[in-house]
Structure 1
Amino acid sequence: MHLTSLGFRTDLIFARFQGIVEDCNDVIRVVNPDNPTHYFGNFLIFERPPQPGDVELWTRRFAELVGTPPQTKHILMGWDVPPRGEAHLQPFLEAGYHLEENVVMSAAALHAPQRPNLTAEMRVIPDTDEAWQALVDNQVACREENSGESEAAYRTFKEGQFRRYRAMVQSGLGFWYGAFVGGELAADLGVYTDGQLLRFQSVGTHPAYRRQGLCGTLVHFAGDHAQRVLCSGPLVIVADDHYFAKDIYAGVGFEVTERQQLLLRRPSASAPNPS
């Protein structure tokens, strides 16, 4: 299967590092046996969008290729972009699936935001336990309070996620960056590569430091550094289609390249029998 989507191609940078990515002709199988509850570590990318009658077929394929409860409790499935035909979503929504929609933005190079923050210090994060713990703390502080997840559960998730991010930095696949105000970490993000593309990850600004131009300034700094040190390929960032962050990214040169859609059945949702 020839995968064209920039969003999914860069998602696989992370899936390959700690899991298995397998081409099954009409679908790409992504599994992480060590972490079966991680959504983007255990999902399918189909060649085409869902068609009438696909609820039972796609649900069964997920069970066969990825897993079932009690190990794998969710179902997550996407399709390549641009889509080959119309996506028939309503049967999936009626079966307990939720539609996830993101915009995938890319740029050949970035420019400074219109109003850059000229007082904060932009740095590459050093590989120390103290520095990585500060990143986790900042990411937890950036958590949306209406996310429906407790702070303790979110911290556990972030600690596991950042162990992988740190291991990838140590393997030469990327860097983590921070914006510091008065010596305090105020914003952070990562950039990783597969040797051809560069993908941003987990952009977060502490609530106390928002609306100061830190995000756009840090994104520009990180993109410039990553293209000089990692590879000169296109920069890719994925944003929630309904969140203001995409406007910040557009302000430093990113443009919408594609729209990524996935169907998610959360562990608490009911679903048709895959047999």
Structure 2
Amino acid sequence: MTTLSACLGLGIRSDLMLLKKSGLVTEHPDGVCVISPGNPDFYFGNFFAPFTHPTIETIPDVRKRFTELIGCHPGIEHESFAWSCQHADEKTLEVFAQNGFRVEQSLVLTCRPKQLLSPNKTVPDLVIRNASQFDIASLWQLYARFTREQSNGKLPPAEHRFLSARIHEFIELIKTGMGNWHVAVINGRIVAALGLFFEGPIGRFQEVLTDSRWRNRGICAALVHKVSQDAFCNGVQDLIMVADSTYHALRVYRNLGFQDIESLITVCKPSRQDQNTK
């Protein structure tokens, strides 16, 4: 995996493992700068990851660095930062929120072959397979539906552009042989999907999505388990999953043997266009 400073945490470093294929990742004395020229609306494809956790006193300096390194690029109208920690500084996060930033705390989980557990139940008629080029439209719809759920039923213009470019980036990653998307199908209908991409013995999950109409039926657990099992059979040693700390699927991952190792803090001030559509 990327040799960038270990102080970034496993969650960020595994993100950079993929982002460096489609974007520019540069290390500076105070942190790492990420720029995705082909997707300026990708909030966490264009962000600054400081080596030292921001504090109330250093927030202005960190924001200045984003402007200097990232915000000057065409089409980037947001501010985004990410850092790993064991315990979040709630007062600092509160100041970010007061300044118009969306604050999210995610958990980074890992699993090794001997830790993987089988799902509690089976799902009748479920077929799990690699995605094909004919599945792209269905994947986009699933991705868009999930994003609308997170945006109060709306799909702001910047989010729409981001999704279109992001699907293209995943297609390019697949062409390089880094991994694939996998889909769960019931009676010919895609009801869940996820991406899993690799660098050496490390695998990083991307966008585990389940159609809201098919949740709580064991589909997500079956999909993650089967894809993980196949990866381990092919020599992968560590799988990494990042999930929102309040996300309903977190329990699913833990029940499959994934274990929490760190917290990942992300703060983002959306573009004015997105703010105006909320």
Q: TM-score, normalised by structure 1?
A: 0.87
1:246 to 247, 250, 255: 250
Q: Could you say if the C-alpha distance between residues 88 and 158 of structure 1 is closer, same or farther in structure 2, counting changes exceeding 3 Å? A: closer
**2:188 matched residue in structure 1:** 183
Q: Distance in 2 between matches of 1:60 and 1:83?
A: 25
- Say yes or no: does 1:209 pair with 2:234: no
Shift in alpha-carbon separation, 1:158–1:34, aligned structure 2, 3 A: closer
Counterparts in 2 of 1:146 and 1:20: CA distance versus 1, 3 Å: closer
1:28 pairs with 23, 26, 32, which one?
Answer: 32
Write the distance in 2 (CA, Å) between the matches of 1:69 and 1:26: 20
Cα 1:24/1:143, change in 2 over 3 Å: closer
More deviation, 111-120/154-163: 154-163
Range with bigger deviation, 258-267 or 74-83: 74-83
User: Equivalent residue for 2:119?
Assistant: 113
Q: Which moved more, 1:140-149 or 1:214-223?
A: 140-149
Name whichever of 23-32 and 149-158 sits farther off.
149-158
Give CA-to-partner distance per residue, 1:57-113, whole Å, 9 cap, x none: 111111111124863211111224357999733433333323221111111132221
Question: Matched residues in 2 for 1:256 and 1:49: separation?
Answer: 20
**SS in structure 1 at match of 2:6:** coil
Distance 2:177 2:60 in 1: 42
Higher-helix-fraction structure: 2
Contact 1:97/1:263, CA 8 A, preserved across alignment:
yes
1:55 aligns with 2:98: no
How far apart, CA to CA, are the structure 2 residues paired with 1:197 and 1:92? 33
How many residues align structurally? 266
Judge conservation of contact 2:195–2:205 (CA < 8 Å) in 1.
yes
How much has 1:131 moved relative to structure 2?
1.9
Contact in 2 for aligned 1:47/1:80 (Cα 8 Å): no
1:234 match: 238
Distance in 2, matches of 1:15 and 1:218, equals: 24
Instruction: Identify the match of residue 5 of structure 2 among 2, 22, 25.
Output: 2
Pairing of 1:110-149 with structure 2 (within 5 A): 110-126=116-132, 128=133, 130-145=134-149, 147-148=151-152
Which residue does the alignment assign to 2:276? none
**Equivalent of 1:257, from 226, 244, 261?**
261
Unaligned residue ranges in structure 1 (runs of 5+): 270-275
The AA in structure 2 aligned to 1:150 is K
Tell me which residue corresponds to 1:93: 97
The answer as to whether partners of 2:39 and 2:162 remain within 8 angstroms in 1 is no
Quick check: 1:224 aligned with 2:226?
no
Gaps (5+ residues) in structure 2? 274-278
TM-score by length of structure 2 reads 0.86
Change (3 A) 1:181 1:90: closer
**What is the CA RMSD across the aligned residues, in angstroms?**
2.5
Counterpart CA distance in 2 for 1:77 and 1:190 is 24
The equivalent of 1:16 in structure 2 is 20
3-state DSSP of counterpart to 2:221: helix
Map of 1:272 onto structure 2? none
Out of 26, 43, 49, the residue aligned to residue 47 of structure 2 is: 43
